[in-house]
Every structure is written in structure tokens, then in C-alpha cells.
Amino acid sequence: MSPFDTFYYLCSVMKKEPCLRLDEIASALSQADAARMAPELSPADRVIMEQACVTLREAERTAIVNVETGLVERFTQNANSVNLQAKNIRALVTKINKIPKSLDITETVIKECVKVLKAIAMWCTMLILLLYMSSCASMTNAQLKRVNSLAIVSDSSITGPGSVLKILDEVRLERGLIYAASLQGADTRLQELNGLADAQSQQTRLADKSDVCINILESYIRALKSVTSETRWKQNGTELRGIGRNMDSLAIAYNKLDWGTLYEPGIAKQIGKTTGYLAEQYGKRRQRHIVKGILEHGDTLVDACVKSLVAELKSDDFKGLIANERTGLENNYRAYLNAAALNNTPPQPAFDRIYIESRQKIDQAETLRRRCITMLQSFSRAHSALLKEMDNRATYSEFLDELYELNKQITALRRY
């Protein structure tokens, strides 16, 4: 087949099937590149053949965008399906951020005056004990450790398709520059460079959008880290102890004024310590209840997101994008070497380095794709196991520790 026969054949194929597969375009481009390097071609004919090649390059970029757009649309559709779970999780996080009204009342009572505190101290303590200690068991130490470990490890290791696509974008730009160097016509070379620039910005946006499910998982992991933090149940206790100390200091200052009735120092501080401890115990139990609810909603969310991500990462479309870069890199570099030989100019070592580095990046993209699948599946399994773990009650030794600390606080109050 002559170069012009090849050219007209390609044009007819493009008219009949404007949305060719990537492997079909790669094969057609390889033929066209070989045809434009024929020594017997005149400069004018070579420009015509170069135009055919640049047209195929544009078709390749369009096909890549179509594949990536399809991936993004499917990711977005799956992300929309978990909106209800995400909404419920946000509501639970908002709930745990609110200070319970009972603790507000206790804090107000402490602020009111030391005299009233002394009268209601034991009754307030027993009331809080009956209301909160009987509500539900707190999270065990093992559960807290597992939740925190899962959240921390997942936050730093969860990676999605966007990372792979961005590596492929880098390779696509580098091999495009190599290919542009093989073109002799000024117009065709400029057209190729403009096409590269336009496609690069579009493909970068698609790579970012492809991580919509990963963004949901990362938001969920951050919420999980937040609600399982120790500060969730320590904060109110710390504030109440601080109020008790401040009221005790106020009582001491009042006694120094010698205005009559003396207030016994230490009572406010001890009540602050006791109510602070009870507030922390309530916080732990409230935390367990809310965290379990988040995990239950999150399990559906995680399962849906992970299944979607894994299915697309394993799909022929996604693997085809990596295979296309591997084939395209070699074909584009061969076109550059043939053009250099045709013009009797030695290849530039800089392009040799780009070729080697690009090959390494393609291998890196494939490795990352496989690791993404493994990490996502591991996260999903660990999350399901963690949800089952939440049904386990506190150990006997942990219960005795809590009972001992409560008895210690009540004994201290009896001194006043």
C-alpha cells in the first residue's frame, strides 16, 4: 500500500468510525508513521502524511478523554448512591459535638455558688451515676485502639484511580513532546503541541474528578478519627475540674475578706473532680453509642465505594489506558528515531532519558493500580471486622478499674 493509499484508508476509517478503540488508533498511527518516513516522499507529500498522523493523534486523545469521562461518570453515580449514609454520618458527628444538657446544668450549678454545691453534691453524683453509668458500656481499650489504628493507617494509605491517571498524564505529555520532535512541518508540529496542551488540562481535571469516591472515604476516615479521639470525652471533664478549682479559689478569697460566713475550701474543687470524672465516663459511653452508629452507616458507604473503585481499577478500560501508554511511548519514540535517521541527525540523549523515565512511570502506574485494589479491599475487610468488634463488652478488669475510680471520687466527697 502506497503512502497515499494509507492516508485515504485512514480517512475513510475515521469517517465510518469516529470513536475508534485505542488499540485500533495505535495500529493505524503506527502504519501512518511508517508511511511518512518513506525516503521517496517529496516534502509536500510528507507534510500531507504528517497531517494524517496528527489527525490520528488527536483521535487518540479524544478516545482517552472519552474513556476517562466514562470512568468519572460511573464513579460519580456510585458516589451519589451513598449520599444517605454520608448524611447520617454527618448528623452523628454533629450530635457528638454538642455538649449534653445534663452537663450544662451541672456546670451551671457549680458556677452558682459553693454553698449550694455542698448541699447537692452527693445527690448530684448519684443522679449522674444512675443516669449515665447504666446507659451502655464504654468502648474497650482494644476497640479504641483498633478504631484509631484503622483511621490513622487508612488516612495515610488510601489511594485511588486519580493518582494512577495523573502518572499516565505525565507520560502522555512526555511522549507527545517526543512525537512532536519527529514532525518536520511547522503547522503540524504546532497543531500537535496545541493538542497536547489542551488535552493535558482536560485530563488533569478528569483525574481529579475520578477520586470522588476516594474523597468520600477520606472524609469518612477523618470523621472516624475525630469522634474516637480521647479529647471527645476528656474535654468536658477537664472543663468541669477547672471550674471547680476556680470556685475553690473564689471561696478562699471570700474567706479572707472576713464578711461573716466562711466557706470550707476544697469542696468545689472536689465536686469539680467528681463531676468531671462522671462527665468523662458518660462521654465514653455516649462516644461508643455514636461511633457504632457511624460504623454501621459507614459500612454500607465503604462497601459501595470500594466495590465501585475496585471494579473500575480492574476494568478493561482502565487497564487499556495503561497499555495504551506503553504502546504509544514505544511507537512515538520509534517515530522520533526514524525521523532523526531520515534527516541524518543523531538522536538527542535528553529524549533517551525521557523514554527510560517514562517507561519506569508506566510500570509505577501499573504497580500503583494493583496496590490501590489491595489497600481498598483490606480497608473494607478491616472496617467490617471492626463493626463486629463493637458488640464485645468491656472486660471484667476494665469494669473493676472504673468501679474503683468511682468509689475513690465518692469517698473523697464524704469528707466535706
The whole-angstrom separation of Cα 26 and Cα 10 is 12
pTM, to two decimals: 0.74
Contact 248, 266 (CB under 8 A): yes
The whole-angstrom separation of Cα 12 and Cα 32 is 14
Contacts of 207 (CB under 8 A, 6+ apart): 68, 162, 165, 166, 169
**Radius of gyration for the chain, computed over Cα atoms and rounded to the nearest angstrom:** 34
Contact 336, 179 (CB under 8 A): yes
pLDDT at 232 over 90: no
Between the two ends of the chain, the Cα-to-Cα distance in Å is 106
What are 92's three cell numbers?
452523628
The whole-angstrom separation of Cα 337 and Cα 351 is 10
Average pLDDT over residues 395-414: 47
Q: What is the pLDDT of residues 170-196, one digit of tens each?
A: 999 999 999 999 998 899 999 999 999
pLDDT band (50, 70, 90) for residue 336: very high
The whole-angstrom separation of Cα 128 and Cα 242 is 19
- How high does pLDDT run on average in the chain? 75
Domain extents in the chain: 83-167+178-183+201-413
Q: What is the pLDDT of residues 274-321, one digit of tens each?
A: 665 666 666 666 777 777 777 888 888 888 889 999 999 999 999 999
Q: Where are the alpha helices (DSSP H) in 182-315?
A: 186-209, 212-227, 231-256, 267-313
Q: Where are the alpha helices (DSSP H) in 130-160?
A: 141-157
Closest to 65 in 3D by CA, of 160, 216, 212, 196:
196
pLDDT band (50, 70, 90) for residue 105: very low
What is the predicted pLDDT for the residue at 113? 42
pLDDT at 398 over 60: no
The whole-angstrom separation of Cα 312 and Cα 371 is 14
The whole-angstrom separation of Cα 305 and Cα 154 is 14
The whole-angstrom separation of Cα 285 and Cα 137 is 6
pLDDT band (50, 70, 90) for residue 227: confident
What is the predicted pLDDT for the residue at 401? 52
